[in-house]
Amino acid sequence: MSKKILIVTTNFAGNETTTMNHTGVWLEEFATPYLVFKETGYDITVASPLGGLSPVDENSMSCSNPEEWDKCIKILRNTTPLSEINYKEYDALFIPGGHGPMFDLANDVLVQEIVEYFYNNDKIISAVCHGPAGLVLAKDKNGNSILKDKKVTCFTNKEEKIVKNEEDVPFLLETCLRELGARFEDAAPWSEHVCTDGNIITGQNPQSALLLAEEVVKLLS
C-alpha cells in the first residue's frame, strides 16, 4: 500500500489589517516537495483550514519556473478543507512556507491537533521556511512544546531582515522557535539547510525544499 502524505497549506493572502497584503504559499516550497512525493508514488492530499484557494505568493511566480509547477498552482486552487480529512490515515505531514502560515496556521487549533497526533504517534512531521509556524502551538503529553530541545530551523531573522519583512510579520519565527526551547540551527542566508531530529524535519528556506523532500522520502522508506 502506498504511503500517504498530508500537505497542509495556508489560506492567507493578506488583508487590510496587515501591511503584508500579497502573500500566501511560496510556490517552490510546495511544488518541489509535491513533485518529489508524487514521483515516489505516494498518495498525496493537499488541504487547508478553509479549503478552496490556497493563494500563491506573487513574488514566487516567474517565467523561469519549471513548467511542471503549473499543475501545482492548479492543485492549490482547490484544496480540501482540513475538517474533512481523516488525518490519522496519513504517514507524514508536510507544511510548506510562504509568509501565509504565519497568519493562519500558527493560530489554528485543528492544525495543532493534527501536529500533536503525528508527534505522539511517531509519524513524520516536516515543514520548510515559514512552514514551522504551523508547529508552534503543538505540545507533547507533558505540556511542553514538541520543539523543546529539538534541532530545528526555519526562515531566519537575518533572512527576514534582508527581504525587509521583519516589521510586517506577526512575529519572528526564529525568535519564537528559540523561545519554545528549540535548539535552533541556521546556515548562511539562502543556502540549503535541513535539520532532522527524530521524526521532525525542518528546512530553512526555498533553497532547502528539495533536500527536505528527499529526507522525508528517506524516513518513509
Residue 19's Cβ-count burial label (10 Å; 0-12, 13-18, 19+) is exposed
In the chain, where the domains are located: 4-220
Please tell me the pTM assigned to this model: 0.97
pLDDT of 59 > 90? The answer is: yes
In tens, the pLDDT along 208-221 reads: 999 999 999 999 99
In tens, the pLDDT along 88-112 reads: 999 999 999 999 999 999 999 999 9
Q: What is the pLDDT of residue 170?
A: 94
Q: Classify residue 94 as left (phi > 0), alpha (psi -120 to 50) or beta.
A: beta
Phi and psi (nearest 5°) for 128?
Answer: -130, 145
Q: C-alpha cell of 47?
A: 488541504
For the ranges 81-85, 143-147, 165-169, 193-197, which has the lowest average pLDDT?
165-169
In tens, the pLDDT along 146-165 reads: 999 999 999 999 999 999 99
pLDDT of 52 > 80? The answer is: yes
Q: What is the pLDDT of residue 86?
A: 98
Q: How far is CA 121 from CA 85, 89, 195, 204, in A?
A: 17, 12, 20, 25
Which CATH number is 4-220 given? 3.40.50.880
pLDDT tier, 17 (very low <50, low <70, confident <90, very high otherwise): confident
pLDDT of 122 > 90? The answer is: yes
